[in-house]
Amino acid sequence: MKSGRVYSPLFSAFGPEPVQARMTIGDARLLITTALYYDRKVASWRGELPDLKHVLLVDRRGADLPDGTRSYQDEMAASSQSAVSAQTESEDPALLHFTSGTTGKPKGAIHVHGAVVVHHLTGRTALDLHPGDIYWCTADPGSVTGTSYGINAPLTNGVTMVVDEAEIDVNRWYGILQEQKVAVWYAPPTGIRMLMRAGSGITQGYDLSHLRFMASMGEPLNPEAVS
């Protein structure tokens, strides 16, 4: 985003077809991913996207690189140590998000650079983010929530972000809240309902005293979940 390119996050649970559809619609030129995701979800159809010029893998180097891919670490090591941010206007494209595609072909929705101002303000006022807070947004970074409030809002508000790629697990989640001393926790309703099923007794074994504020997104919570 700071270099003036348009960034499009992809949900890690997507299969090959949803990934291909979004990269085709978005006319993707550069893909950054892992070797596992590339092998499972991209390699078989990459030739169908002639404009996809570069694939950077974050977890492979040297002889371990599949044909037609490059190492993200090597490229970064060889790059300049200084960079100048692009001079953008508030209405210049910054992010490309897609609808779910459940009712037809997924539709792209452009978010502009000026949107980060709203991400910052709502992170401060709705999520009560303060510089120095430890903050955990459990939404996938490939979702609109995971980008807006898992990346943009915490970065601009000067908080420390927690990112965890493992599946939802009650003890793991409470363990992270305790060990990382999370002050603000932003979790989806599915996660909150999972914690409810485990019962309140399980929390007795964890120190959650640092947790100042908790919020949810995506759908209304029933009174039991709120309490």
Assess if residue 2 is contained within a domain. no
What CA–CA distance (Å, rounded) separates 47 from 63?
22
Residues 120 and 218 reside in one and the same domain: yes
For helices 170-179 and 189-198, the axis angle rounded to 10 degrees is: 100
Assess if residue 70 is contained within a domain. yes
Residues 164 and 192 reside in one and the same domain: yes
- Give the residue from 49, 77, 112 where a domain finishes: 112
Assess if residue 144 is contained within a domain. yes
Nearest to 28 by CA among 13, 48, 4: 48
The confidence score (pLDDT) of residue 165 equals 80
Residues 119 and 100 reside in one and the same domain: no
Residues 127 and 32 reside in one and the same domain: no
Assess if residue 43 is contained within a domain. yes
The confidence score (pLDDT) of residue 105 equals 86
Residues 126 and 199 reside in one and the same domain: yes
Residues 132 and 194 reside in one and the same domain: yes
The confidence score (pLDDT) of residue 91 equals 97
Residues 35 and 87 reside in one and the same domain: yes
The confidence score (pLDDT) of residue 68 equals 92
Residues 101 and 122 reside in one and the same domain: no
The CATH number that applies at residue 202 is 3.40.50.980
Residues 102 and 199 reside in one and the same domain: no
Q: What is the pLDDT along the chain (227 residues), one digit of tens a residue?
A: 889 999 999 988 899 999 999 999 999 999 999 999 999 999 999 999 999 999 999 999 888 899 999 999 999 999 988 888 999 999 999 999 998 877 888 899 999 999 999 999 999 999 999 999 999 999 888 888 889 999 999 999 999 999 988 788 899 999 999 999 999 999 988 888 888 888 888 888 899 999 999 999 878 888 877 77
186-196 residue pLDDT tens: 998 888 888 88
Report the domain count for the chain. 2
**Cα dihedral sign for 173, 134, 125, 121?**
negative
The confidence score (pLDDT) of residue 194 equals 86
Assess if residue 7 is contained within a domain. no
Q: What pTM was computed for the model?
A: 0.83
The confidence score (pLDDT) of residue 32 equals 96
